C-alpha cells in the first residue's frame, strides 16, 4: 500500500462497484435497489466510469423523484461511451435481496476507508517533508482523515411502498425497550420533547451572559444523577471556575461566595463559612458514591485552541451519553478553505451531528 498508494488493487473492487450500479438501474430489484440508493456514497466508487454513472443516477433521481432505469441510462447523452460500455457488462449482474446489497455496502465501505487512510498518509508525509513543516497542520490532516474514515451512517431508510418496511419499522418502534432520548431534568421540556435525542445535535443559543453555560451544566448535573455519563468541553472557563459552578449547583452554595474565596474585599479576606465548606464536602462524597454505584460520570474539559474534529477524536473512545461544547464561536475552524464564517460554523455543526449519530450520543452545542 505504501508503494502503490491509491492504485493498489487492495483499495478497489470493480465487480462490486458494477453490481451496485446494475442494481440501482434494475427496476425489479426493489429492496436491494432502495437500500443501495440510501446507503451508497459518492466516494464508495473509485473507477471513473462507475463514479460517472452513479453521479448521473443520483442527479436524475433528485430531478425525477425516482431512480432511472437501465434503458434511461443507456440513452443518456450525459454519459461517456466508456461508461455506457460498462452498462453492458454481463459478468456482474444486479443483486436482488437487501442482504446482498448490505454485503456490497460492507465491501465498498471498507475500501473507501482504506483510500481515506492512504490519502491521509500521503498528505501527512507531504506536509512533514516541507522545510517549514508544522506538526499541528499534520495533526489536523490526521484527525480529519480519521473522522472521514469513520463517518458512515448505516441508519436504515423508512420506505412506504409495496415492498417497503413500514410495518416492520412501526412494530420495532412500538416494541422499543430502550429510550431514544435522554432526559434533561427540565420537566416541562422533557414532558413535551422527551429530552435530548440520541444520535442528534441540540443547539442552545442566547446572547452573551444569557445563561447558556449555566443551563448546559445543569443538564449535565441532572443527567449524572439519572445515571448518564456526560462530558462538558468549555473553551472559555478554567477548571476552578467550572468546579466552583458545579459545587455551587450540587451543594446549594452561593456561587458568588465560592468565586470570591481567597479574595480581599475592602481590606477583609473573604472565606467560605464552615457550614458552606461542610455542605460542599458532603456533596463531593455523595457524587463519588453515586459514580461508584452507577458508573455515571461527569467530566469537564477546559480546552483552548482546538477544533471540533480534535474534540471528537479525544472523546470518542469514552462512551459518553451527552457531550456539550461551550461554545461554538470559540472553536478553531477546521481547514475550511474559502468558507465564510457562516459556512465554517455550519461545517462544525455537521461534524458534531455526524459524531452524535455514529456514537449514538446526544451532542449539545452552545451558540
The rounded distance, in Å, linking the Cα atoms of 77 and 131 is: 48
Alpha-carbon radius of gyration of the chain: 26
pLDDT confidence of residue 4: 54
Distances (CA, A) of 241 to 215, 246, 256: 15, 9, 11
pLDDT confidence of residue 163: 62
pLDDT confidence of residue 59: 86
pLDDT confidence of residue 232: 97
Match 451512517 to its residue by C-alpha cell.
Answer: 153
Longest alpha-carbon distance in the chain:
91
Spell out the domain ranges in the chain.
5-150, 181-366
Which residue intervals of 186-238 are DSSP H helices? 187-193, 212-225
**β-pairing verdict for 362-366 and 322-326:** parallel
The rounded distance, in Å, linking the Cα atoms of 310 and 348 is: 11
> Grid coordinates standing for 201?
445535535
pLDDT confidence of residue 241: 92
pLDDT confidence of residue 6: 58
Top CATH class of 5-150 equals mainly alpha
pLDDT confidence of residue 154: 47
Between the CA atoms of 93, 94, 100 and 106, what dihedral angle is there, to the nearest 10 degrees?
90
Third-level CATH fold of 181-366? Rossmann fold (3.40.50)
The rounded distance, in Å, linking the Cα atoms of 164 and 254 is: 58
Vertex 143, ends 122 and 228: CA angle to 5°? Answer: 155
Distances (CA, A) of 7 to 2, 4, 33, 127, 146: 10, 6, 29, 21, 20
> Grid coordinates standing for 174?
412500538
Which residue intervals of the chain are DSSP H helices? 14-24, 30-39, 48-64, 70-75, 81-87, 98-128, 135-150, 166-174, 187-193, 212-225, 239-251, 255-260, 274-294, 308-315, 341-359
The rounded distance, in Å, linking the Cα atoms of 358 and 60 is: 29
Taking only the tens of pLDDT, the chain with its 367 residues reads 455 555 676 788 999 999 999 999 999 988 888 788 878 888 999 999 999 999 999 888 877 767 899 999 999 999 999 999 999 988 899 999 988 999 999 999 999 988 888 888 888 998 898 888 888 888 888 877 877 776 654 445 666 776 667 777 787 778 766 678 999 999 999 999 999 999 999 999 999 889 999 999 999 999 999 999 999 999 989 999 999 999 999 999 999 999 898 888 888 888 999 999 999 999 999 999 999 999 999 999 999 888 888 888 788 778 899 999 998 989 987 655 566 788 888 888 988 988 898 788 999 999 9
Match 505504501 to its residue by C-alpha cell.
Answer: 2
pLDDT confidence of residue 89: 85
Kindly state the DSSP code that residue 245 receives in the 8-state scheme.
Answer: H
Q: What are phi and psi of 261, to 5 degrees?
A: -55, 125
The rounded distance, in Å, linking the Cα atoms of 130 and 138 is: 11
> Grid coordinates standing for 321?
451519553
* DSSP result, 326-345: E-GGGSBPPS-TT--HHHHH
Kindly state the DSSP code that residue 363 receives in the 8-state scheme.
Answer: E
Q: Is the bond preceding residue 90 a cis peptide, omega within 30 degrees?
A: no
Query: Which residues are registered as beta bridge partners of 231?
Result: 299, 323
Kindly state the DSSP code that residue 27 receives in the 8-state scheme.
Answer: T
The rounded distance, in Å, linking the Cα atoms of 119 and 128 is: 14
Amino acid at each position: 500500500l505504501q508503494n502503490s498508494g491509491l492504485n493498489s488493487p487492495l483499495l478497489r473492487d470493480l465487480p462490486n462497484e458494477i453490481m451496485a450500479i446494475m442494481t440501482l438501474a434494475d427496476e425489479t430489484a426493489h429492496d436491494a435497489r432502495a437500500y443501495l440508493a440510501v446507503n451508497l456514497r459518492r466516494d464508495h466508487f473509485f473507477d471513473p466510469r462507475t463514479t460517472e454513472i452513479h453521479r448521473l443516477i443520483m442527479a436524475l433521481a433528485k430531478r425525477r423523484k425516482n431512480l432511472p432505469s437501465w434503458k434511461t441510462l443507456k440513452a443518456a447523452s450525459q454519459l461517456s461511451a466508456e461508461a455506457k460500455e460498462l452498462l453492458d457488462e454481463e459478468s456482474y449482474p444486479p443483486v436482488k435481496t437487501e442482504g446482498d446489497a448490505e454485503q456490497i455496502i460492507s465491501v465498498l465501505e471498507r475500501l473507501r476507508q482504506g483510500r481515506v487512510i492512504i490519502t491521509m498518509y500521503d498528505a501527512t508525509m507531504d506536509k512533514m517533508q516541507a522545510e517549514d513543516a508544522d506538526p499541528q497542520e499534520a495533526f489536523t490532516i490526521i484527525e480529519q482523515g480519521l473522522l472521514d474514515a469513520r463517518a458512515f451512517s448505516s441508519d436504515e431508510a423508512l420506505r412506504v411502498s409495496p415492498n417497503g418496511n413500514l410495518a416492520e419499522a412501526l412494530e420495532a418502534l412500538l416494541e422499543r425497550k430502550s429510550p431514544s432520548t435522554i432526559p434533561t431534568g427540565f420537566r416541562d421540556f422533557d414532558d413535551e420533547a422527551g429530552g435530548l435525542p440520541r444520535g442528534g445535535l441540540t443547539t442552545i443559543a442566547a446572547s452573551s451572559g444569557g445563561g447558556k453555560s449555566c443551563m448546559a451544566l445543569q443538564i449535565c448535573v441532572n443527567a449524572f444523577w439519572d445515571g448518564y455519563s456526560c462530558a462538558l468541553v468549555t473553551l472559555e472557563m478554567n477548571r476552578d471556575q467550572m468546579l466552583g459552578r458545579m459545587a455551587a449547583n450540587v451543594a446549594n452554595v452561593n456561587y458568588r461566595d465560592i468565586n470570591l474565596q481567597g479574595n480581599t474585599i475592602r481590606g477583609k479576606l473573604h472565606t467560605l463559612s464552615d457550614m458552606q465548606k461542610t455542605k460542599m464536602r458532603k456533596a463531593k462524597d455523595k457524587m463519588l458514591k453515586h459514580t461508584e454505584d452507577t458508573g455515571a460520570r461527569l467530566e469537564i474539559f477546559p480546552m483552548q485552541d482546538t477544533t471540533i474534529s480534535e474534540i471528537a477524536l479525544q472523546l470518542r473512545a469514552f462512551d459518553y451519553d451527552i457531550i456539550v461544547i461551550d461554545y461554538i464561536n470559540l472553536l478553531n475552524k477546521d481547514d475550511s478553505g474559502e468558507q465564510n464564517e457562516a459556512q465554517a460554523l455550519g461545517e462544525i455543526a455537521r461534524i458534531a451531528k455526524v459524531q452524535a449519530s455514529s456514537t449514538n450520543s446526544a451532542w449539545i452545542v452552545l451558540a
